């Protein structure tokens, strides 16, 4: 009888241990890099259609600032930017889909804040784009400042930080408004374009992008007022340090490359450079790539295939694009902005 009971207790203990391990793995997966390499591609969660940031053409080819960052991660790992596969996600599902490992990384105009890291067990490795919430209004309203928006009917995307920022701004300034919130961004745009609301609020970068989708883009103004801090960052799962480090330093390599003047056009010349910072960037000095679990030329792969931060910015959302969003805060720290990367050393 004792032997039977002992065996039963051991069996129960093993079952509990297995359950605990399974739950731990479910919440804290630490093998994203190994699984990505084995699969042969990076699964990237992106916006379903935000011009300049992530949008497919009629053949399913994706372009945009966020898309290029995912391609940079794929280039660092596989030396092939085409090894990034894009999975469109709505705002209300993006974090849960990352948690459930449907994607390896979110590169989807997501604001880094404390509650998202805590409540979803996620990590925002580095800020890719400094943004802020603003307002778009029909030019016919002749609105010059957000303080003139009292009594407005405001269209706003649901499941975003925009909701709380909107409420805070109007309450702080003793103004009234009527909220029209919709889950899908396309529906918000359609509601505003059809006149169901007379104001559209979202991150300023989104307003520039979505204005292109309106029936008469030139008839709408984006106000100069910015009412919040919206540091947009890629997102990964917590307690997966190897993967987090690759995502973080992919971005930092692109920023450092721009600061050092290394581009996709002169990368071969940079490989011959004797400048210490450039030598470390391109892998001719130190073991920085190997320490990440990659090759010594990991940053060269990124820059050759995708470009440095400035190249990615300008072709997708800057002066070379239809959006023509000024660099502003996203200019490098030594050129009047706040975009700044730790050194590779």
The H or E element spanning position 313 is helix 309-316
**Residue 206 DSSP symbol:** H
Residue count (the chain): 345
Distances from the Cα of 247 to the Cα of 70, 71, 124, 169, 236, angstroms: 9, 11, 10, 34, 8
Angle at 244 between CA 285 and CA 312, to 5 degrees: 70
What is the value of pTM for the model shown? 0.87
Q: Which residues share a beta bridge with 201?
A: 135
One pLDDT digit (tens) per residue for the chain, 345 residues: 555 455 554 544 444 444 443 444 444 456 999 999 999 999 999 999 999 999 999 999 999 999 999 999 999 999 999 999 999 999 999 999 999 999 999 999 999 999 999 999 999 999 999 999 999 999 999 999 999 999 999 999 998 999 999 999 999 999 999 999 999 989 999 999 999 999 999 999 999 999 999 999 999 999 999 999 999 999 999 999 999 999 999 999 999 999 999 999 999 999 999 999 999 999 999 999 999 999 999 999 999 999 999 999 999 999 999 999 999 999 999 999 999 999 999
């Amino acid at each position: 009888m004792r032997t039977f009971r002992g065996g039963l207790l051991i069996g129960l203990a093993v079952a509990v241990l297995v359950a605990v391990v399974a739950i731990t793995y479910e919440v804290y997966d630490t093998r994203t890099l190994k699984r990505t390499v084995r699969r042969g591609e990076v699964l990237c969660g992106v916006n379903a259609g935000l011009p300049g940031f992530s949008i497919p053409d009629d053949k399913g080819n994706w372009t945009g600032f966020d898309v290029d960052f995912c391609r940079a991660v794929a280039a660092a790992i596989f030396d092939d930017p085409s090894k990034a596969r894009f999975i469109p996600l709505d705002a209300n599902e993006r974090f849960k889909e990352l948690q459930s490992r449907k994607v390896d990384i979110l590169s989807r105009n997501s604001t880094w804040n404390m509650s998202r890291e805590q409540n979803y067990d996620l990590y925002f490795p580095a800020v890719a784009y400094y943004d802020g919430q603003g307002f778009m209004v029909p030019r016919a309203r002749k609105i010059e400042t957000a303080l003139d928006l009292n009594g407005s009917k405001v269209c706003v995307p649901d499941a975003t930080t925009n909701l709380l920022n909107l409420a805070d701004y109007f309450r702080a300034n003793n103004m009234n408004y009527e909220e029209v919130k919709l889950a899908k961004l396309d529906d918000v745009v359609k509601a505003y374009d059809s006149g169901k609301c007379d104001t559209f609020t979202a991150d300023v970068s989104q307003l520039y992008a979505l204005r292109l989708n309106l029936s008469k883009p030139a008839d709408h103004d984006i106000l100069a007022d910015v009412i919040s801090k919206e540091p947009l960052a890629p997102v990964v799962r917590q307690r997966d340090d190897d993967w987090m480090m690759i995502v973080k330093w992919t971005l930092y390599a692109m920023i450092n490359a721009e600061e050092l003047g290394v581009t996709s056009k002169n990368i071969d010349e940079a490989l011959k450079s004797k400048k210490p910072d450039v030598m470390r960037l391109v892998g001719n000095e130190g073991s920085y790539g190997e320490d990440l679990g990659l090759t010594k030329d990991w940053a060269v792969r990124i820059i050759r295939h995708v470009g440095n931060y400035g190249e990615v910015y300008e072709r997708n959302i800057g002066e070379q694009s239809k959006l023509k969003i000024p660099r502003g805060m996203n200019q490098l720290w030594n050129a009047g902005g706040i975009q700044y990367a730790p050194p590779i050393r």
